[in-house]
């Protein structure tokens, strides 16, 4: 029965996903994706409708989620790292050309002011144009202007009706209205909104023959450079509208060769390690001491203590980080007021670093307390009792029996905690934002982690450079993955000793 | 590569379906048929004010209008969504976004007639003009001014020196705890310090032949700017103590409203809290240094933009060019948040009921439109850190040189 429900649920969810995603995929003509979707759906349906392949039934959902939420984002980051994707280079070349041409449209001085009515003639979208001065009514099509007889015109210049024309309601066939340019001797008449039309002249045009933009007014010319994704003039200046291109390894080499990045890398990395290790060690130590104290058989009122200790963990950390930042304020902060001091906590490197560690300890220890409490329940009391009967002191019992057993259980969590704190963007960003900065160096602060430092480089220094940010993410990923792999290997060795 | 992207997209689809959210991938703008629907994105403050007018526009034109509230990072959200084809038709934002939006081909010029253009305050129109094109319909302006507690200081100080003197006297008399509330914060604040910096002769960019800021010529480290930083140092923590890093965005207005300082440098957004605090106040232009240049504040302009990838672009142009340039809309937006309107006619309507408005406008008379070039984004961080360094008493020439280096390093790319 349970098996049946599981099968119905799995096939049902798959069908729902299919129904949900097929219409937009067809509309956007994403045939490759549609194919993949169909194949996956077919495979999943087959799997849950047959009685064979039992292990796969359990493994497939997890595998799909692993692919969706872990593997694909990592691969996507890798692919973005090889492009210049970012502000100024988000779209395609075609979009950039369109924007440049639209920007160069200038209203022809002295041209008539046309009141516009959008109409259809035999299925084709046309402009009914009323010259506001002469009241002459004309029809504008892709071929040009021609006069219209017998049109009924309102006081504001709107055409209310004309034989052979169907007046279109606002918003109807918007794409065609936008695209229609009525050619004239001097340029073209285009719609400006729905009630006005203006005679324009485009100063800049894209010429596919030379792959360049030329300005008919000044004669200047910008040639497309597909290495950088800009139209570049002979003097090296470029038009501001760019497009996305592949840049190969340029983002990676920039990380290594740019002195503003590689020059500070080591210093930041050392503090980054200190911060991550310090945060984990301190919060684990405090959390464990609290857990051990409450684990003692003679301890009374453990429930209320536990609730109190978990409180910091229950509060939203974003808000708490901002509250802590304000508590450290020199003149208005709670800490200086309570102590009656006038210390600029965030002003000195050591002060800022210790403050950060303190805040992170406060935020982190309840979690360590929780997991240690759980792990302690699993260690039989007989073991410590046996060691005390054998004459071990309390400290020796803890050091030789409890702590090793705790570490076997908690090592994976400590490694995860380290990886999290290694990239603990929020704490640094909200409390110090990397500061204090040395007076002669504005690029890297004394409390910057790799992640906050690179965030500033990639997103605040000018514009969002997603390609570059992805390249740095790949480096950070490599560092954290290496450390985690080493740590897990060591943990496994330890487990073999104690189990 | 291609298959990876396809698989990634599939993953996202699965994710979207799993979450059951409304993150449906939007369709591309269809080529032949408009949807008869206008979508406007705005920040929370403006959404409520816009709704009635958007609905009226919808009724008049027989289309459906939706105003969507984007709570955070409107600019980034707009650029990203626009790129994917799921963006709005119209977006409401600050004029200094224009450079970034244009380089991403995200917005189109707005076609205003000469008559419509003449209806705007000249500085507001100048602010939304980029590469020679008007890129947005301005509706509100804002700039910094000096707000003072009239119970403590009846007359406006003529210079920064007078201001500091008055503040010091009040502090000595125990009436206030701070000389001046001008937010600096631990990261610095280029926007709020700019009037002082400009008055002392400092500048951010040189100017091009057409008078626009020249991104090729960063002048934060120039000799004149070093002099200006030296002046700021004299006002800093090692000097008169008027500028302090402990005064930050989160406490400056509150301190003034709580009568902890007699002077506040802030904008029209501060008056609500000050009124709530029951402080009697008056508004005047930010004073300059005695014998220095004018203390020009940055001028910010709020505007409506037409998205390049709008699904109903003709409708969007109609809304922006011919509908919101109407003084009733400007008045309603003013009622939602008291920033001076950009339409001269709307100013006339509003100023009868709000005496503050004219004072803010007068304070911004010499305002310098905040540069809309994308390079401006590289200025804020390093400039702010140089400001913090000198306020703490560090050497101005070292700080200015470091800021110049950092700005050039990020602009070089």
DSSP letter, residue B159: B
Q: Which of residues 222-281 of A touch B (CB under 8 A)?
A: 240-242, 260
Residues A269 and A264: their CA atoms lie apart, in Å, by 9
Q: Which residue of B has its CA nearest to A243?
A: B104
**Contact, A285 vs A435, CB < 8 A?**
no
Residues A37 and A149 in one domain: no
- A149 within some domain: yes
Does the beta-carbon distance from A68 to B406 stay under 8 Å? no
Q: What pairs with residue A130 in β-bridges?
A: A115, A137
- A110 within some domain: yes
pLDDT of B346 reads 87
Residues B205 and B313 in one domain: no
Residues A45 and A154 in one domain: no
Helix (H) or strand (E) holding B283: strand B281-284
The tokens of B230 are what? 């030296």
Q: What is the pLDDT along chain A (499 residues), one digit of tens a residue?
A: 667 787 888 888 888 988 898 888 888 788 888 998 899 889 988 888 888 888 888 898 899 889 988 899 999 999 999 998 988 888 889 889 988 988 888 888 888 888 888 888 888 889 999 888 888 888 988 888 888 888 888 877 788 888 888 888 877 787 888 888 888 888 888 888 888 888 888 888 898 888 999 888 888 889 998 888 899 988 888 888 999 999 989 889 988 887 777 778 888 999 999 999 999 999 999 999 999 999 888 888 888 988 888 888 888 888 889 899 889 888 888 888 888 888 888 888 999 999 999 999 999 999 999 999 999 988 888 888 888 888 888 888 888 888 988 988 898 899 899 989 998 999 998 888 887 888 877 778 889 998 888 888 777 765 678 898 899 889 888 988 898 899 888 888 777 766 5
Q: Which residue of A has its CA nearest to B407?
A: A461
CB count in 10 Å sphere of residue A9: 11
Per the structure, how many domains does chain B have?
2
Query: Closest approach of chain B CAs to the CA of A374, in angstroms?
Result: 31
- B30 within some domain: no
The tokens of A366 are what? 């309840």
Of B351, B369, B387, which marks where a domain is finished? B369
DSSP letter, residue A432: T
Inform me whether the C-beta atom of residue B384 falls under 8 Å from chain A C-beta atoms: no
pLDDT of B366 reads 84
Q: Which residue of B has its CA nearest to A82?
A: B1
Q: B392-396: long-range contacts at Cβ-Cβ below 8 A with a sequence spacing of 24 or more?
A: B392/A347, B392/B236, B392/B237, B392/B238, B392/B245, B393/B233, B393/B236, B393/B237, B393/B238, B393/B239, B394/A439, B394/B233, B395/A439, B396/B226, B396/B229, B396/B230, B396/B232, B396/B233
pTM: 0.81
CATH number of A338's domain: 1.10.3720.10
Inform me whether the C-beta atom of residue B378 falls under 8 Å from chain A C-beta atoms: yes
Q: Which residues of A touch B24 (CB under 8 A)?
A: 20, 24
Query: Closest approach of chain A CAs to the CA of B351, in angstroms?
Result: 31
CB count in 10 Å sphere of residue A199: 21
Residues A357 and A432 in one domain: yes
Q: How far, rounded to the nearest angstrom, does the alpha carbon of residue B12 sit from its chain's CA centroid?
A: 35
Does the beta-carbon distance from A463 to B411 stay under 8 Å? no
Q: How far, in Å, are A198, B81, B108 from residue B135 at the CA level? A: 17, 19, 6
Residues A198 and A267 in one domain: no
- B12 within some domain: no
Inform me whether the C-beta atom of residue A98 falls under 8 Å from chain B C-beta atoms: yes
Inform me whether the C-beta atom of residue A68 falls under 8 Å from chain B C-beta atoms: yes
Residues B137 and B241 in one domain: no
**Contact, A245 vs A89, CB < 8 A?**
yes
| Proportion of chain B above pLDDT 90, given as a percent | 49
Of A243, A269, A296, which marks where a domain is finished? A243
pLDDT of A1 reads 62
Q: How far, rounded to the nearest angstrom, does the alpha carbon of residue B369 sit from its chain's CA centroid?
A: 10
* Residue with token string 């937009």: A24
Per the structure, how many domains does chain A have?
4
- A161 within some domain: yes
Where residue B7 falls among pLDDT bands split at 50, 70, 90?
very low
- A420 within some domain: yes
- B4 within some domain: no
Residues B132 and B251 in one domain: no
Does the beta-carbon distance from B7 to A67 stay under 8 Å? yes
Provide mean pLDDT across the span B280-292: 94
pLDDT of A342 reads 83
Query: Closest approach of chain A CAs to the CA of B405, in angstroms?
Result: 8
Q: Between B134 and A217, name the one with better pLDDT.
A: B134
Residues B136 and B150 in one domain: no
Strands of B25-73 (E only): list them.
Answer: 37-42, 64-69
Residues B221 and B262 in one domain: yes
- A250 within some domain: no
Residues B345 and B266 in one domain: no
Q: Which residues of A touch B5 (CB under 8 A)?
A: 76, 79
Residues B163 and B246 in one domain: yes
Q: Which residue of A has its CA nearest to B400?
A: A440
Which of A489-493, B12-16, B117-121, B349-353 has the largest mean confidence? Answer: B117-121
pLDDT of B18 reads 39
| Residue from B108, B112, B40 nearest B325 by CA | B112
Q: Three-state DSSP class for A284?
A: helix
- Name the packing angle between helices A259-295 and A302-314 (round to 10°): 160
Of A220, A243, A266, which marks where a domain is finished? A243
Residues A9 and A133 in one domain: no
pLDDT of A463 reads 67
Q: Which residues of B touch A69 (CB under 8 A)?
A: 11, 15
pLDDT of B281 reads 94
Residues B175 and B55 in one domain: no
- A252 within some domain: no
pLDDT of B30 reads 37
pLDDT of B162 reads 94
Residues B153 and B285 in one domain: yes
The shortest CB-CB distance from A462 to any of B16, B251, B378 is to: B378
Inform me whether the C-beta atom of residue B409 falls under 8 Å from chain A C-beta atoms: yes
Does the beta-carbon distance from B33 to A67 stay under 8 Å? no
The shortest CB-CB distance from B377 to any of A17, A73, A462 is to: A462
Residues A356 and A280 in one domain: yes
Residues B283 and B333 in one domain: no
Q: What pairs with residue A167 in β-bridges?
A: A119
- A392 within some domain: yes
CATH number of B243's domain: 3.40.190.10
pLDDT of A462 reads 55
Residues A371 and B290: their CA atoms lie apart, in Å, by 64
Residues A74 and A181 in one domain: no
Provide mean pLDDT across the span B281-287: 94
- B13 within some domain: no
pLDDT of A290 reads 92
- A306 within some domain: yes
Q: Which of residues 281-310 of A touch B (CB under 8 A)?
A: none
pLDDT of B16 reads 39
Does the beta-carbon distance from B104 to A88 stay under 8 Å? yes
Where residue B165 falls among pLDDT bands split at 50, 70, 90?
very high
Does the beta-carbon distance from A173 to B32 stay under 8 Å? yes
The shortest CB-CB distance from B244 to any of A64, A192, A331 is to: A331
Domain with A189, as residue range(s), is 106-202
Where residue B61 falls among pLDDT bands split at 50, 70, 90?
confident
Residues A262 and A393 in one domain: yes
The shortest CB-CB distance from B394 to any of A178, A242, A439 is to: A439
DSSP letter, residue A119: E
The shortest CB-CB distance from A198 to any of B111, B312, B395 is to: B111
pLDDT of A499 reads 57
| Proportion of chain B above pLDDT 70, given as a percent | 91
Residues B16-38 have pLDDT tens digits of 333 333 333 333 333 334 457 89
**Contact, A148 vs A137, CB < 8 A?**
yes
Residues A433 and A292 in one domain: yes
Residues A55 and A14 in one domain: yes
Residues A55 and A65 in one domain: yes
Residues B166-218 have pLDDT tens digits of 999 999 999 999 999 999 988 899 999 999 999 999 999 998 887 778 888 99
The tokens of B334 are what? 């003013």
Residues A224 and A117 in one domain: no
Residues B121 and B95 in one domain: yes
Residues B343 and B227 in one domain: no
The shortest CB-CB distance from A176 to any of B32, B247, B319 is to: B32
Inform me whether the C-beta atom of residue B374 falls under 8 Å from chain A C-beta atoms: yes
Domain with B112, as residue range(s), is 35-142+300-369
DSSP letter, residue B401: H
- B39 within some domain: yes
Does the beta-carbon distance from A194 to B251 stay under 8 Å? no
Residues B360-376 have pLDDT tens digits of 989 988 888 898 888 88
Residues A124 and A182: their CA atoms lie apart, in Å, by 13
Does the beta-carbon distance from A437 to B388 stay under 8 Å? yes
pLDDT of B95 reads 92
């Amino acid at each position: 029965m349970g098996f049946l429900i599981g099968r119905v649920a799995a096939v049902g969810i798959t069908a729902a996903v299919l129904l949900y995603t097929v219409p937009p995929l067809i509309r956007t003509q994403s045939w490759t994706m549609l194919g993949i979707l169909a194949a996956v759906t077919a495979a999943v349906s087959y799997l849950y409708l047959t009685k064979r392949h039992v292990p796969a039934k359990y493994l497939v959902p997890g595998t799909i989620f692993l692919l969706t939420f872990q593997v694909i984002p990592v691969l996507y980051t890798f692919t973005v790292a090889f492009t210049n994707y970012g502000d100024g280079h988000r779209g395609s070349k075609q979009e950039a050309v369109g924007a440049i041409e639209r920007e160069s449209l200038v209203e022809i001085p002295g041209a008539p002011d046309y009141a516009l009515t959008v109409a259809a003639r035999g299925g084709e979208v046309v402009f009914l144009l009323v010259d506001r001065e002469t009241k002459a009514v004309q029809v504008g099509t892709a071929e040009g202007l021609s006069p219209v007889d017998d049109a009924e015109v309102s006081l504001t210049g709107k055409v209310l009706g004309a034989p052979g024309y169907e007046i279109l309601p606002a918003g109807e066939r918007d794409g065609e209205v936008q695209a229609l340019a009525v050619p004239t001797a001097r340029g073209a008449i285009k719609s400006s909104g729905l009630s006005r039309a203006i005679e324009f002249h485009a100063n800049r045009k894209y010429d596919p023959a030379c792959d360049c933009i030329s300005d008919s007014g000044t004669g200047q010319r910008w040639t497309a450079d597909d290495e950088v994704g800009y139209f570049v003039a002979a003097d090296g200046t470029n038009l501001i509208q760019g497009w996305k291109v592949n840049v190969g390894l340029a983002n990676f080499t920039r990380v290594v060769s740019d002195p503003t990045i590689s020059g500070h890398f080591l210093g930041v990395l050392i503090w980054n390690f200190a911060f991550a290790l310090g945060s984990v060690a301190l919060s684990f130590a405090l959390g464990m001491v609290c857990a051990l104290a409450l684990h003692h058989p003679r301890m009374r009122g453990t429930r209320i203590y536990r609730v109190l200790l978990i409180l910091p963990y229950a509060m939203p950390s974003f808000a708490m980080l901002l509250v802590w930042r304000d508590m450290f304020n020199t003149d208005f902060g709670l800490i200086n007021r309570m102590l009656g001091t006038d210390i600029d906590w965030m002003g000195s490197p050591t002060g800022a670093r210790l403050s950060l560690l303190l805040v992170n300890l406060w935020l982190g220890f309840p979690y360590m307390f929780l997991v240690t409490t759980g792990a302690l329940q699993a260690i039989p009391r007989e073991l410590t009792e046996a060691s005390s009967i054998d004459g071990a002191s309390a400290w020796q019992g803890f050091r030789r029996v409890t702590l090793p057993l705790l570490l076997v259980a908690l090592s994976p969590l400590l490694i995860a905690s380290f990886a999290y704190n290694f990239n603990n963007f929020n704490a640094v960003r909200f409390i110090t934002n990397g500061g204090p900065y040395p007076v002669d160096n504005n690029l890297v602060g004394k409390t910057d982690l790799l992640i906050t430092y690179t965030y500033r480089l990639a997103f605040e220094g000018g514009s969002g450079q997603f390609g570059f940010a992805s390249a740095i993410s790949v480096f950070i990923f490599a560092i954290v993955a290496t450390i985690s792999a080493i740590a897990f290997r060591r943990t496994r060795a330890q487990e073999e000793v104690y189990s | 590569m291609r298959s990876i992207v396809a698989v990634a997209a599939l993953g996202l689809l699965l994710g979207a379906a799993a979450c059951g959210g409304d993150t449906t991938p939007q369709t591309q703008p269809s080529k032949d048929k408009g949807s008869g629907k206008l979508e406007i994105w705005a920040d929370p403050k403006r959404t409520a004010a816009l709704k009635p007018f958007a609905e009226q526009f919808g009724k008049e034109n027989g289309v459906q209008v939706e105003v969507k509230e984007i709570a955070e990072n409107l600019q980034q959200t707009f650029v990203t969504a626009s790129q994917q084809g799921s963006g709005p038709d119209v977006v409401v934002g600050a004029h200094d976004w224009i450079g970034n939006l244009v380089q991403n081909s995200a917005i189109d010029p707005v076609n205003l007639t000469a008559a419509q253009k003449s209806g705007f305050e000249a500085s507001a129109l100048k602010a939304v003009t980029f590469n020679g094109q008007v890129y947005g319909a301005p509706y509100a302006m804002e700039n910094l001014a000096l707000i003072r507690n009239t119970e403590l200081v009846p007359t406006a100080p003529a210079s920064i020196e007078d201001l500091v003197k008055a503040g010091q006297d009040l502090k000595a008399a125990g009436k206030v705890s701070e000389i001046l509330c001008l937010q600096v914060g631990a990261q610095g604040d280029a926007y709020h310090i700019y009037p002082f910096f400009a008055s002392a002769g400092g500048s951010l960019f040189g100017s091009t032949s057409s008078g626009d800021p020249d991104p090729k010529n960063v002048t934060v480290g120039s000799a004149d700017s070093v002099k200006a930083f030296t002046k700021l140092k004299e006002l800093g923590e090692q000097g008169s103590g008027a500028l302090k890093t402990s005064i930050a965005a989160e406490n400056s207005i509150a301190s003034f409203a709580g009568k902890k300082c007699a002077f506040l440098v802030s904008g029209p957004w501060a008056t609500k809290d000050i009124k709530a605090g029951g402080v009697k106040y008056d508004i005047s232009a930010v004073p300059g240094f005695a014998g220095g240049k004018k203390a020009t504040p940055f001028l910010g302009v709020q505007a409506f933009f037409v998205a390049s990838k709008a699904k109903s672009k003709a409708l969007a142009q109609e809304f922006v060019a011919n509908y919101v340039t109407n003084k009733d809309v400007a008045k309603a937006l003013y009622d939602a948040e008291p920033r001076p309107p950009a339409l001269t006619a709307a100013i006339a309507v509003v100023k009868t009921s709000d005496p503050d408005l004219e004072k803010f406008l007068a304070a911004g008379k010499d305002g310098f439109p905040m540069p809309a070039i994308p390079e401006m984004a590289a200025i804020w961080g390093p400039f702010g850190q140089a400001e913090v360094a000198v306020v703490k008493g560090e050497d101005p020439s070292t700080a200015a040189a470091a800021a110049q280096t950092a700005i050039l390093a990020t602009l070089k790319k």
